[in-house]
Structure 1
Amino acid sequence: MKLAFLYAGQGSQHVGMGRDLYENYPAFRAVLDAAPVDFDLKQLCFEGPEEQLNDTRYTQPCMVAFAAGVTAVLKEEGITPAYTAGLSLGEYSALHCAGVLDAPTAISLVAFRGKAMAEAVVGRPCGMAAVLQLDRDALKKACEEASGLGVVECTNFNCPGQIVISGDAAAVDKAGELAKAAGAKRVLPLKVSGPFHTSLMAPAGDALREKFKSVDFHDMEIPVLFNCLGREMGEGDTIPALLERQVQSSVYLEDTIRRLADLGVDTVVEIGPGKALSGFVRKTAKQIKCYPVETAQELQAAVAALKGESDT
């Protein structure tokens, strides 16, 4: 077995997330109890309100605390991956798993990131939409044609047949119409609070660049595959530069999954609310077995299965 951890991104959060894990796993509980934030993270995760949980300023630290808690439990069980990656925000959880950031630093860093991303587009109507069953070139052309109405860019290449576009609301709507005319099966608006991974996030990238000057990035203990590359970092790349680039450029998750398969990964643990990443894996590399972990029951089942595979 060659194992990878994949960490969920923003959009999969929901009220109640992590409650049963908190009640059943001391290692998970310790991470949430120590989260360095200026709001009641546990109450927001467990009880809401949903509107606040969906605000990127709060979503990001909640999601990373959840992921770090599950990672702590898996580590305690002796389960560590050969590779790790995450979708967008999940990349910070992957870096925590790899030893680059300790849990408090990762949580406080994404709290800063969330605020910077929210401030980058205050008062600007924006949107994101998932476009189904249209190839990259055709969708890029649709975005180019719609750009007269504002910024609209392809931002998430999730899996074959699913690409997310983001930007100014009018331009996103127009690009969606053009995508349908070009043969897209569906265009689904996403419930998010900003045009993530577009050039509109450049102010957030600038803020992160300055913030990173005071962050202690440790040596990587586990290889991380990076969003903006779709692979491991290369010679000359630095983690701060890649994270600055990530917030304002496309996420290549499909390429990342293909790269994991090329590296021999045959098993993935998806860490975070929901099962979206497992779906992306199945559509991209069917041979990879997935264990989504959101609940205490799922975590217990994944640990038992992974230990059983290791023994065979």
Structure 2
Amino acid sequence: MTQVFTFPGQGSQRAHMLQNLPDHPNVTLIKQQAEDILGVKLNALDSQEALTDTVNVQLALLICGVAWGQYLQNVGIKPDYVLGLSIGAYPAAVVAGSLDFGDALRLVKARADSMKSAYPSGYGMLAITGAEFKHVQAAVNLLQEKGEKVYLANLNGEYQFVLAGEKRVLKNAAEQVRSQGIGASVFLDVTVPSHCPLLKEQSEKLLAMFQAITLKTSNSLYVSAAKARVLRKPDDIKEDLALNMAHQLHWYDSCQMLAERGVNKALEMPPGSTLTGLFRKVLNGGECYSIENINLKTIL
């Protein structure tokens, strides 16, 4: 089978997500390297209180994704493609063999710090389901014409979208969509306005940091969720990682592209399960699994 490893973004985190990583020598090394570089114990990153901070969330998702992705490869389950949502692109690049884990830790720390500093409060992300693109985009356009800071950040499915911006305005956008008699909305557990122009300056600073980092040609094919295509050149992957915080994400199109390339199995790394449901709607007849919700023996 042709398979893809998927890596979730912010909103999928849960308390103590780093306390139940696989029992494997390579995972032990990953945990130790993370603690040495960050100068903290992992249980200081994934407590309920710690995960109210976007810096801890992003680092915990990176470590969790890398640990599980490399563990699966160590037991013989190898991806043909890797695809990460938002911060999930970083563990995807590490598992693909393109980005060094130590470099990823330092870059994600800088990424999260810059996002938090720019928008310490009052901003976030909101998911809208059950509405068509035209209705969501119309609500965003109407508010933007009034000078409001709201953006269509993620196109996750035919009827699933995520907005980013000021929480006050996000609520107004959801009400505008519901006024058409359609759509349900919920605020995501994300404290920054990702994947929109509000983070352009921060993404460009991160790209400058990337210039001191060397990426390798990946072992698995790296898919950009921002461009919905495979990136092969290390410099292209570097740019995608650095700038993805300010770019709109096209998850649905990325899944469709992989289906057209013959992918028929999708494995989502812990702690997520949402991406599995999204992929299942595209991969008709394929196999889609959330690793944390299955017995691994069923896919070995």
* Same fold at TM > 0.5: yes
Q: Distance in 2 between matches of 1:89 and 1:12?
A: 11
Q: Say which SS state the counterpart of residue 299 (structure 2) adopts.
A: helix
Q: List per-residue Cα deviations over 1:205-241 (Å, max 9, x = no partner).
A: 1221111111111112221110111121388972222
Mapping 1:72-111, distance limit 5 Å:
72-111=70-109
Q: Say which SS state the counterpart of residue 27 (structure 1) adopts.
A: helix
Contact kept, 8 Å, 1:228 with 1:245, in 2: the verdict is no
Q: 1:127 aligns with which of 124, 129, 144?
A: 124
Change (3 A) 1:109 1:146: same
Q: Which residue of structure 2 lines up, in the alignment, with residue 305 of structure 1?
A: 298
Structure 1 stretches of 4+ with a deviation exceeding 4 A read 234-237
State the Cα distance separating 1:294 from its structure 2 match: 2.9
Q: Distance in 2 between matches of 1:237 and 1:131?
A: 34
Is there any run of 5+ residues in structure 2 with no aligned partner, and where? none
Q: Distance in 2 between matches of 1:212 and 1:236?
A: 11
State TM-score, norm by structure 1.
0.89
Q: Distance in 2 between matches of 1:235 and 1:17?
A: 33
Q: Which residue of structure 2 lines up, in the alignment, with residue 37 of structure 1?
A: 38
Q: Distance in 2 between matches of 1:235 and 1:68?
A: 21
Q: What amino acid sits opposite 1:131 in the alignment?
A: I
Mapping 1:1-312, distance limit 5 Å:
1-22=1-22, 24-35=23-34, 36-45=37-46, 48=47, 50-123=48-121, 125-147=122-144, 148-233=146-231, 238-294=236-292, 298=294, 301-302=295-296, 304-307=297-300
Q: Say which SS state the counterpart of residue 38 (structure 2) adopts.
A: coil
Q: Distance in 1 between matches of 2:164 and 2:182?
A: 16
Q: Distance in 2 between matches of 1:289 and 1:71?
A: 18
Q: CA RMSD in A?
A: 2.0
Contact kept, 8 Å, 1:99 with 1:222, in 2: the verdict is yes
Q: Distance in 2 between matches of 1:93 and 1:9?
A: 10
Is there any run of 5+ residues in structure 1 with no aligned partner, and where? 308-312
User: Taking every aligned residue pair, what percent have the same amino acid on both sides?
Assistant: 26
Q: Say which SS state the counterpart of residue 173 (structure 1) adopts.
A: helix
Q: What amino acid sits opposite 2:43 in the alignment?
A: K
Contact kept, 8 Å, 2:259 with 2:282, in 1: the verdict is no
Contact kept, 8 Å, 1:120 with 1:203, in 2: the verdict is no
State the Cα distance separating 1:183 from its structure 2 match: 3.7
Q: Distance in 2 between matches of 1:122 and 1:206?
A: 19
Q: What amino acid sits opposite 1:33 in the alignment?
A: Q
Q: Say which SS state the counterpart of residue 68 (structure 2) adopts.
A: helix
Q: Distance in 1 between matches of 2:106 and 2:235?
A: 24
Q: Distance in 1 between matches of 2:26 and 2:287?
A: 26
State TM-score, norm by structure 2.
0.92
Change (3 A) 1:225 1:113: same
Q: Distance in 2 between matches of 1:20 and 1:191?
A: 21
Q: List per-residue Cα deviations over 1:159-214 (Å, max 9, x = no partner).
A: 22110011122321221111111343211112211111111111221221111111
State the Cα distance separating 1:139 from its structure 2 match: 1.0
